[in-house]
Structure 1
Amino acid sequence: MHQCSLGTDLLESSSLEKDLVVMVDKLPMSQQCALVAKKAKGILDCVRKSTTSKLREVMMLGSPRVAELLLQRGADPNRPDPSTGCLPAHDAARAGFLETLAALHRAGARLDLPDGRGRLPLDVAAGGPHGAVGRYLRHPPSHA
């Protein structure tokens, strides 16, 4: 089995980078793996440069574990993208990433916040309001 690698030079940086490298190194080589590796490398570059949170980009990876790592390290689950006004919960809902949406919610993401166009995550949910994501958004578990 082939494996993806982001490069050994990343192992000298932060623990988030190490966690991401380990995760990507375990993926089988495929077109999807190459895309994930490319996006993860971009996220890692931003982390290294201490730029703004890249949580929204992580939503497009569909990886609840990567989202959890960023949330544990202080990413704001309610911070909108400055150029679009879109929130991470909207991206996860739109893409149908139920586990990632649940991870955001557990970390404090508000599911009642509108995006820059006034839409709620339920309005953009993959599968509509009656799909798995829509059901979660209509009746989210309470997180104490």
Structure 2
Amino acid sequence: MQVIGESSCISRLSFDDIPPLTTPEIPDVPILSNAYDILTRYFAGEKVDFYPVPLTLCGGTEFQIAVWNTIREIPYGETRTYKWVAEQIGKPKAVRAVGGAVGANPISILIPCHRVIGSNGKLGGYGGGIERKRLLLQLEGYPVETLK
């Protein structure tokens, strides 16, 4: 897992198929240290709130940023549908576009796109892989056995 940021915010978090947070090379940047601490607690199974972590949502369109901000509000251990996200941003017919914006999320986990599922009860896609999405939801105590 790779966390990228600067002194005031996180700008990217991505999977690189290295076990998460095993080699902490945390520079003396409080924001990165805070993100490392929160992610370590998260992967240890602690219920954490990612919302207070400052993020820079750059490089996205207005629509994508609206989607990402909405996803940040989905509580730990809960899911919402792509349709719900579309309705929240005032674009109820833009469900497929929401799916595209979710897929373009540059800050996995901290913008918890793994909490967005299909209206049909299917997991949908996930940039880190569908099995990782299932594992993240399971880590949060979501009953993944109810998903198709």
TM bucket, shorter chain:
0.3 to 0.5
TM-score, normalised by the number of residues in structure 1: 0.33
Rg larger in structure? 1
TM-score, normalised by the number of residues in structure 2: 0.32
By relative contact order (CA 8 Å, sep 6+), the higher-ranking structure is 2
Q: Which has the higher helix share?
A: 1
